């Protein structure tokens, strides 16, 4: 009987895309796979294992931390450290990046930035959450201690990026710049199997995802765009359908598979929106582009932005190319006024 390819087999088969690579990236992706399985296990039994709820502390961005935020952070940091394929890591849950200083790690070429648990306000109410990761080659010389500049690279320098969605099933989706593939976890066997090969946004989309509760704070162009998406026009299948979970991973995943537009624009109280450029916007932008979509801050390609802070935010508009282009047009027309 023919069976699906496992993620491990896929990673090894695709190592040939990197003729000069020595297999470190493959090993790093395997470490992410392992940590993902461990976090998945904890999420599945969260209600029974007393790891639901908040810890009563805030992260560096002033957001209250959930127990699972910290658990996921610890699992990823320790797993990636133990395997020795990275020289440093930065995470939403850590104020500063961690430089791994022993010889093995200093010899490593890669750094990782991550959102260990995305959508954490959804944990306690049993709605889909995710993990987002972004991988770069270091700029500093191999053999030295990793520096902040290694982490502050524009998204276009990403070597790989992806997410794990802990939904009705658990799926790991990633790209190394050669298309996007998704692997569904089989809990009975304990392996991820290729279930979504070569994912592409459908040509047309008719879903929009935005926290409309913030409408009053949005720029004029975004307000007009939302009203336009709600207008009746049979030819362009409007009004569009509104779908928003509050987990970027879930909203992105659905829109990539079904066709749609995700928006987290700036608002009067949040001049750069909410999402973090380095470990939310950039990895999703890389995936979007590799799946034939687009990601913009309303004006610029997300992956061109030169970051200046680890936890900096950016307005985020992402989805089918044509829908993002329409959104940019609405924003552009308003800024001309």
Question: Which of the ranges 32-40, 182-190, 246-254, 284-292 carries the binding residues for ligand AHG, by CB under 6 A?
Answer: 246-254
Q: Please tell me whether residue 297 binds Mn ion under the rule CB under 5 A.
A: no
Q: Please tell me whether residue 247 binds ligand AHG under the rule CB under 6 A.
A: yes
Q: Which residues of 150-173 are buried (b: 16+ CB within 10 A; e: fewer)?
A: bbbbbbeebbbbbbbbbbeebbbb
Is residue 327 within 8 A of residue 296, CB to CB? The reply is yes
63 binds, among Mn ion, ligand AHG, none (CB under 5 to 8 A by kind): ligand AHG
Span 98-127, contacts to Mn ion by CB under 5 A: 115, 117-118
Question: For residues 113 and 336, what is the distance between their CA atoms, to the nearest angstrom?
Answer: 36
Q: Please tell me whether residue 92 binds ligand AHG under the rule CB under 6 A.
A: yes
Considering the complex, state which of residue 63 and residue 186 has its C-beta at the smaller distance from ligand AHG. Answer: 63
> Number of residues in contact with ligand AHG, rule: CB under 6 A?
11
Out of 84, 88, 119, 267, point to the residue binding ligand AHG (CB under 6 A): 119
Question: For residues 31 and 76, what is the distance between their CA atoms, to the nearest angstrom?
Answer: 8
Considering the complex, state which of residue 138 and residue 274 has its C-beta at the smaller distance from ligand AHG. Answer: 274
The CA–CA distances, whole Å, from 199 to 25, 194, 330 equal 21, 11, 28
Out of 65, 91, 120, 131, point to the residue binding ligand AHG (CB under 6 A): 120
Helix/strand/coil for 288? helix
Considering the complex, state which of residue 124 and residue 186 has its C-beta at the smaller distance from Mn ion. Answer: 124
Q: Please tell me whether residue 118 binds ligand AHG under the rule CB under 6 A.
A: yes
Span 136-195, contacts to ligand AHG by CB under 6 A: none
Angle at CA 72, nearest 5°, toward 190 and 183?
Answer: 35
The CA–CA distances, whole Å, from 132 to 117, 139, 189, 229 equal 8, 22, 24, 29
Q: Please tell me whether residue 251 binds Mn ion under the rule CB under 5 A.
A: no
Question: For residues 284 and 296, what is the distance between their CA atoms, to the nearest angstrom?
Answer: 11
β-pair partners for 241:
207
Q: Note the residues at the interface with Mn ion (CB under 5 A).
A: 92, 115, 117-118
For ligand AHG, the binding residues (CB under 6 A) are: 63, 92, 115, 118-120, 211, 246-248, 274
């Amino acid at each position: 009987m023919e069976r699906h390819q496992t993620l491990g087999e896929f990673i090894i088969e695709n190592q040939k895309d990197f003729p000069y690579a020595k297999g470190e990236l493959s090993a790093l992706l395997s470490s992410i796979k392992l940590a993902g399985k461990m976090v998945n296990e904890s999420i599945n039994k969260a209600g029974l294992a007393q790891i639901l709820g908040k810890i009563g502390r805030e992260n560096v961005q002033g957001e209250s931390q959930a127990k699972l935020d910290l658990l996921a952070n610890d699992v990823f940091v320790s797993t990636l450290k133990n395997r020795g394929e990275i020289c440093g890591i930065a995470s939403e849950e850590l104020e500063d990046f961690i430089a791994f200083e022993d010889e093995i790690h200093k010899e490593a070429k890669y750094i990782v930035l991550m959102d260990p648990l995305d959508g954490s306000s959804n944990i306690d109410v049993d709605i889909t959450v995710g993990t987002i990761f972004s991988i770069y080659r270091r700029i500093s010389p191999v053999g030295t201690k990793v520096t902040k500049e290694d982490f502050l690279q524009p998204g276009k320098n990403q070597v790989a990026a992806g997410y794990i969605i802990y939904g009705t099933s658990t799926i790991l989706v990633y790209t190394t710049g050669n298309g996007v593939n998704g692997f569904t976890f089989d809990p009975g066997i304990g392996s991820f199997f290729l279930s979504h090969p070569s994912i592409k946004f459908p040509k047309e989309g008719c879903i929009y995802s935005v926290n409309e509760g913030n409408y009053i704070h949005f720029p004029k162009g975004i307000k007009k765009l939302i009203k336009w998406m709600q207008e009746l026009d049979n030819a362009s299948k409007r009004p569009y359908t509104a779908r928003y979970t509050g987990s970027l991973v879930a909203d992105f995943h659905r829109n990539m598979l079904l066709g749609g537009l995700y928006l987290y624009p700036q608002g009067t109280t949040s001049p750069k929106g909410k999402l973090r450029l380095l470990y939310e916007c950039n990895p999703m932008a890389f995936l979007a582009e590799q799946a034939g979509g687009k990601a913009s801050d309303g004006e610029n390609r997300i992956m061109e932005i030169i970051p200046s802070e680890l936890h900096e935010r950016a307005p985020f508009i992402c989805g089918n190319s044509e829908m993002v282009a329409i959104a940019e047009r609405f924003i552009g027309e308003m800024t001309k006024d």
